[in-house]
Amino acid sequence: MTARALPIADAPAAAPAGGGGCHGGRDTMLAAAEANGKSALLEGLARDYPRGPHDQPQSMCPAFGSLRVGLRMKRTATILSGSACCVYGLTFTSHFYGARRTVGYVPFSSETLVTGQLFEDIRDAVFQTADPALYDAVVVTNLCVPTASGVPLDLLPDQIDGVRIIGIDVPGFGVPTHAEAKDVLAGAMLKVARGEAAQGPVARPGSAITDRPTVTLLGELFPADPMGIAMLLEPLGLAAGPTVPCREWREQYAALASPVVAALHPFYTASVREFQAAGRTIVPSGPVGVEGTAAWLDAIGAAAGIAADTVGAAKDRLLPMIAAGIAKHPITGRITVSGYEGSELLVARLLVEAGADVPYVGTACPRTPWSAPDREWLEARGTEVRYRASLEADISAIEAYEPDLAIGTTPVVQAAKERGTPGVYFTNLISARPLFGVPGAGALAATVNGAIGGAERLTRMRTFFEGVGVGAGTGYGHAGVPEDRPVTSWKPARKAASKDGTMTDVGGS
Ligand code: SF4
């Protein structure tokens, strides 16, 4: 342990200690964060992750994205600083998804927040955690209230006994989706790793070493996808490099060393910045279907300096296999696609190649150059592509296009099923299948066709539940759906206590 110093000179401006980040207090939190010295941070977040029609997260708490990235890394400790309710939700979700890791928590009160003691408590926690026998890195995350209060994680030491200390702010009022929060941490780690690599020799990656030039894969992928991509790269004389976000610290050096980076998920703006600073070439889109794979192989070949006839020979060998896979598993029907994973456009391309009519793709992620080829390809085939799509837009698309199947997030699927339209969860069912190369061809067909075939079952269910309450009356049976009354007609039956302790008769029945 080293001597500590109190770094916070001024008491921070008031931020709602109980929260407010994702339930209506955004303006207050933003004003507090700016008053507390976080203007540059907020400007950076707004530049990297521009907001859209919805300026609040419409999915889970964004910090879950960065939390998950840290929890999946070997020898990495995670500490959260935020309201207890936020931390409860985040740890619950982490363990629901099988984290099997401890999540550290530094609680606060109004007093520790205002006096600056919270920073001291975080600093203590970091020093207690940073054991080089156990960890390569400790990730500390400021959630909404500590960010708004200006808790200065940048004043934490860069490393303690060789353990890197990575402090990040992931406020819901600055990072629109949990997808982009993954990039906040991935980018912060790559920045540190790049600085280390620039200073001298670094550790060799623990994963397989290849003497071929590699292509780093950017995005959290289905486990079989890197193998499918490696199969595409092999005839070009290339190999699949690490997948970013990485699973251990030293993989990042190998990721940065790849001459080419495939931005398979297009929202990793901060990570791309680090790769570009290292002089790497970024390739957009991904190898989906016949046309997507052909274009991607051309782009990878050009970026890696592979001779055109070598790329041509690879395409001659690989594309017929993909075409055969798709032909064997055709998809018929109209399908709307929406989600927050970043791969929505790629999934839509594969569906279209398999024969589906896809009139609408909505993604919660922003428009970046890395999905431009997919947007252009889809729009040329009449698909409406909406970036930063709101939940309302996704549901409106179902009403407007009357699809045979809606692929989407939980509330979108729920809305579809309520109107008798089959729905499939993007995250649980579509992202849990290979998407790229030969294994991806035809992988979606069984799920998609099976769901479309379930339409009749949904009609029967709707008939069975006819007359049962919906909305506020949900859950009431045929015996009597409560009458929907305007809220203003309600009066409390009991007396209410005023602030000075006297009782007031507020009427009511
Ligand atoms: S940390 Fe997450 S759950 Fe908590 S207020 Fe912010 S956005 Fe909401």
Pairing outcome for strands 214-218 and 405-408: unpaired
86 lines ligand 1 (CB under 6 A): yes
Distance (Å) of CA 81 to CA 13, 70, 115, 128: 18, 15, 16, 15
User: In this structure, what token pair is assigned to residue 311?
Assistant: 């790329």
Cis peptide before 245 (omega within 30 of 0): yes
Atom number, ligand 1, closest to the C-alpha of residue 21: 5
345 lines ligand 1 (CB under 6 A): no
User: In this structure, what token pair is assigned to residue 358?
Assistant: 């896809």
CA of 172 to the centre of ligand 1 (A): 5
Distance CA(273)–CA(255), nearest Å, equals 13
Atom number, ligand 1, closest to the C-alpha of residue 61: 2
143 lines ligand 1 (CB under 6 A): yes
* Residue boundaries of the structural domains of the chain: 26-176, 214-322, 328-462
CA of 457 to the centre of ligand 1 (A): 38
Per-residue pLDDT, 493: 55
Pairing outcome for strands 281-283 and 76-81: unpaired
Atom number, ligand 1, closest to the C-alpha of residue 64: 2
Ramachandran quadrant class, 277 (left: phi over 0; alpha: psi -120 to 50; beta: rest): alpha
Q: What is the pLDDT along the chain (509 residues), one digit of tens a residue?
A: 333 333 333 344 545 554 455 665 778 888 888 888 888 898 899 899 887 666 666 778 999 999 999 999 999 999 999 999 999 999 998 998 888 889 999 999 989 988 999 999 999 999 999 999 999 999 999 999 999 999 999 999 999 999 999 999 999 999 999 999 999 999 999 999 999 998 888 887 766 567 899 999 999 999 999 999 999 999 999 999 999 999 999 999 999 999 999 999 999 999 999 999 999 999 999 999 999 999 999 999 999 999 999 999 999 999 999 999 999 999 999 999 999 999 999 999 999 999 999 999 999 999 999 999 999 999 999 999 999 998 999 999 999 999 999 999 999 999 999 888 999 999 888 888 899 999 998 888 989 999 998 888 888 888 887 777 776 677 666 566 666 665 555 554 554 444 454 444 433 33
Q: In this structure, are residues 213 and 238 in contact, taking their beta carbons and an 8 Å threshold?
A: yes
Distance (Å) of CA 150 to CA 140, 155, 171, 191, 411: 14, 11, 11, 22, 34
User: In this structure, what token pair is assigned to residue 165?
Assistant: 């200390």
Pairing outcome for strands 104-106 and 76-81: parallel
CA of 23 to the centre of ligand 1 (A): 8
172 lines ligand 1 (CB under 6 A): yes
User: Residue 401: is it exposed, middle or buried by C-beta count within 10 angstroms (0-12/13-18/19+)?
Assistant: middle
CATH topology of domain 214-322: Rossmann fold (3.40.50)
Distance CA(30)–CA(484), nearest Å, equals 37
User: In this structure, what token pair is assigned to residue 339?
Assistant: 């989600």
Distance CA(257)–CA(280), nearest Å, equals 8
Pairing outcome for strands 159-160 and 163-169: antiparallel
**Ligand 1, pocket-test mutation among 28, 83, 108, most atoms within 8 A of CB:** 83
**φ, ψ at 54 (rounded to 5°):** -105, 125
CA of 469 to the centre of ligand 1 (A): 32
DSSP 472: G
Q: Residue 474 CB: number of other CB atoms within 10 A?
A: 9
Residues 6+ positions from 374 with CB-CB distance below 8 Å: 284, 285, 292, 345, 346, 348, 349
21 lines ligand 1 (CB under 6 A): yes
Asked if domains 26-176 and 214-322 share a fold, the reply is yes
DSSP 149: T
CA of 126 to the centre of ligand 1 (A): 22
What's the chain's Rg over C-alpha atoms?
25
The beta-strand segments (E) located in 85-218 are 104-106, 137-142, 159-160, 163-169, 214-218
Cross-strand bridge partners of residue 424? 407
Q: In this structure, are residues 384 and 360 in contact, taking their beta carbons and an 8 Å threshold?
A: yes
**Ligand 1, pocket-test mutation among 30, 92, 143, 168, most atoms within 8 A of CB:** 143
Pairing outcome for strands 384-386 and 260-262: unpaired
Per-residue pLDDT, 2: 39
Pairing outcome for strands 357-363 and 334-339: parallel
Superfamily grouping for domain 328-462: Nitrogenase molybdenum iron protein domain (3.40.50.1980)
Per-residue pLDDT, 348: 97
The edge-to-edge listing of strands for the beta sheet with 137-142 is 104-106, 76-81, 137-142, 163-169, 159-160
Nearest CA to ligand 1 atom 5: 21
DSSP 417: H
Domain 26-176 classification at class level: alpha beta
> Which of 84, 142, 87 has its CA nearest to residue 110?
84
The beta-strand segments (E) located in 129-259 are 137-142, 159-160, 163-169, 214-218, 239-244
> Which of 46, 33, 30, 53 has its CA nearest to residue 269?
46
Question: What is the DSSP code string of 35-46?
Answer: HTT-HHHHHHHH
Residues recorded for the chain: 509
Question: What is the DSSP code string of 319-383?
Answer: HHHHHHHHHHS---SEEEEEESSS-HHHHHHHHHHTT-EEEEEEESSPP-GGGHHHHHHHHHTT-
